[in-house]
Amino acid sequence: MRKEELDLVLVPVGLTVMVSYHLWLLYRVIKHPTTTVIGINAINRRIWVHTMMEDPLKNGVLAVQTLRNNIMASTLLASMAITLCSLMAVLMTNSNGGYRGLRGKDFVLGDTSDLVLSIKFFSILICFLLAFLLNVQSIRYYSHAGLLINVPARSQRAAPPLAAEYVAGALNRGSYFWSLGLRAFYFSFPMFLWIFGPVPMLVSCLGLVLMLYFLDVYSGWGENGEEEKGEEEDLGVHERC
């Protein structure tokens, strides 16, 4: 196999590994949320919202400060993403000058043509653009939750539990978008290493999936059967959200 053909084999393999893992994670979050960190956090956020809205006068400052910290984190990631997008746009306009030193080197396996180089930079740019858009949506939902979480229950026309469920859903959506924004940053790392060849890209995909598995999967929640029974209602609401 020629070096130029390695990209056609190793890059799809790496992307398939990454996409397959996230599809499997999505299935676990929907069907078995208590076995994933994302699902457990969603359940606990719902409980937290109900606790905060029971007494807004007492817990209002804590709730607003917590959501403000989340908004600041999303704002930081969004600013970083759009800055990196601008940097990648500059590199794409002057890619030949920045990549000429790597061409012809033995440690760079794979295709080094101008077309493939443009695809590599464009893939990184797409990851950063997605990260920016997802974090902006996260800020949107966090802002909605920050406004609604301090509404007194007695002044709500809807039933208080339904109002709390709506706020919990907005908060969980903001957290989901924030997690997806982080995943977009994770995807940009293998795309960046693809500049140095498909072999580093494949190795980074395998290492990233292995690392994410230990960060995303948790098996210590709900070991007690009574605990699981008490949270069946929470899981049903989480799945509907």
Tell me if 98 is assigned to some domain.
yes
pLDDT at residue 155 greater than cutoff 60? no
pLDDT at residue 227 greater than cutoff 60? no
Contacts by residues 236-240 (CB-CB < 8 Å, ≥ 24 positions apart): 237/46, 237/165, 237/168, 238/33, 238/39, 238/42, 238/43, 238/46, 238/172, 239/30, 239/33
Domain containing 71 equals 3-220+232-240
Does residue 121 contact residue 88 with C-beta atoms inside 8 Å? yes
Instruction: Provide the pLDDT for residue 29.
Output: 92
How far apart, in Å, do the first and last CA atoms of the chain sit? 49
pLDDT digits (tens, 9 = 90+) for 30-80: 999 999 999 999 999 999 988 888 877 777 788 889 999 999 999 999 999
Tell me if 226 is assigned to some domain.
no
pLDDT digits (tens, 9 = 90+) for 162-203: 778 888 999 999 999 999 999 999 999 999 988 888 888 999
Separate counts of helices (H) and strands (E) for the chain: 9, 0
pLDDT top residue among 227 and 127: 127
Tell me if 225 is assigned to some domain.
no
Instruction: Provide the pLDDT for residue 238.
Output: 46
pLDDT top residue among 64 and 21: 21
Q: Which band of pLDDT confidence, cut at 50, 70 and 90, is reported for residue 239?
A: very low
Tell me if 227 is assigned to some domain.
no
Number of domains in the chain: 1
Supply the mean pLDDT for the chain: 81
Instruction: Provide the pLDDT for residue 175.
Output: 94
Q: Which band of pLDDT confidence, cut at 50, 70 and 90, is reported for residue 112?
A: confident
pLDDT top residue among 121 and 105: 121
* Range 108-127 average pLDDT: 81
pTM recorded for the entire structure: 0.81
